[in-house]
Amino acid sequence: MANNNDIEGLLLGSRAKSMLSAKTQALLNEHIAMELEAAQIYKAMYSWLEYKGYIGAAHYMKLHYQEELEHMDKIYQYMLDRIALPKAPQVKPANNKFTSFREVIKKALDHEIYVEESYKKSLDKVWAEKDHTTFEFLQWYVQEQVDEVAGFSLILDRLDIAGNDSSAILLIDKEMGQREE
């Protein structure tokens, strides 16, 4: 029969071993860095938009910035819950110079497509490892990307319809200012 010391040893032993493989931990750390990088990109974008007077679009992007930080924190927590120690990433400064409102939205859309592709590749990798829990966890991110890509695509389409009509562009800016979350 196990004595108290053995039981404590067993608990500590199981506590010390992560449920995530080293490969999956590295992959999740990359996504943490990617989410922080996305937050930095949106921070630079909302700053430029506000600086240029696109107040509504700046508000929209600021919420997006906050959302990226939440995405990052969600991965941190997942790793901790699976007994793995996440890394605090360092990211390079984001570009903060743009030539137009449209360019900002196009770059945001391109970035979201890139992030979606990256999550899909990670889904393939964790599936190959039979890590069903992480697979399910990462599926949430792919679904989130569907909404983000759709949102920026729609804004870009509307900006293309507006063309050089500044009243129409300001109307889109105003609509973006109505985003609540």
| Binding footprint of ligand OFO on the chain (CB under 6 A) | 35, 38, 68, 71, 112, 115, 144, 148
Shortest spacing between CB 126 and ligand OFO, in angstroms: 18
Shortest spacing between CB 40 and ligand OFO, in angstroms: 11
Q: Whose Cβ is closer to ligand OFO: residue 68's or residue 173's?
A: 68
At residue 181, the 3 state secondary structure works out as coil
Do the Cβ atoms of 17 and 82 come closer than 8 Å?
no
Q: Whose Cβ is closer to ligand OFO: residue 59's or residue 71's?
A: 71
DSSP 178: T
At residue 94, the 3 state secondary structure works out as coil
Question: How far is the C-alpha of 68 from the C-alpha of 178, rounded, in Å?
Answer: 19
Question: How far is the C-alpha of 62 from the C-alpha of 112, rounded, in Å?
Answer: 16
Question: How far is the C-alpha of 113 from the C-alpha of 8, rounded, in Å?
Answer: 48
Q: Whose Cβ is closer to ligand OFO: residue 8's or residue 110's?
A: 110
Q: Whose Cβ is closer to ligand OFO: residue 38's or residue 44's?
A: 38
At residue 139, the 3 state secondary structure works out as helix
Shortest spacing between CB 18 and ligand OFO, in angstroms: 24
Shortest spacing between CB 141 and ligand OFO, in angstroms: 7
Shortest spacing between CB 112 and ligand OFO, in angstroms: 5
Q: Whose Cβ is closer to ligand OFO: residue 136's or residue 147's?
A: 147
- By the 10 Å C-beta count (0-12 exposed, 13-18 middle, 19+ buried), 135 is classed as middle
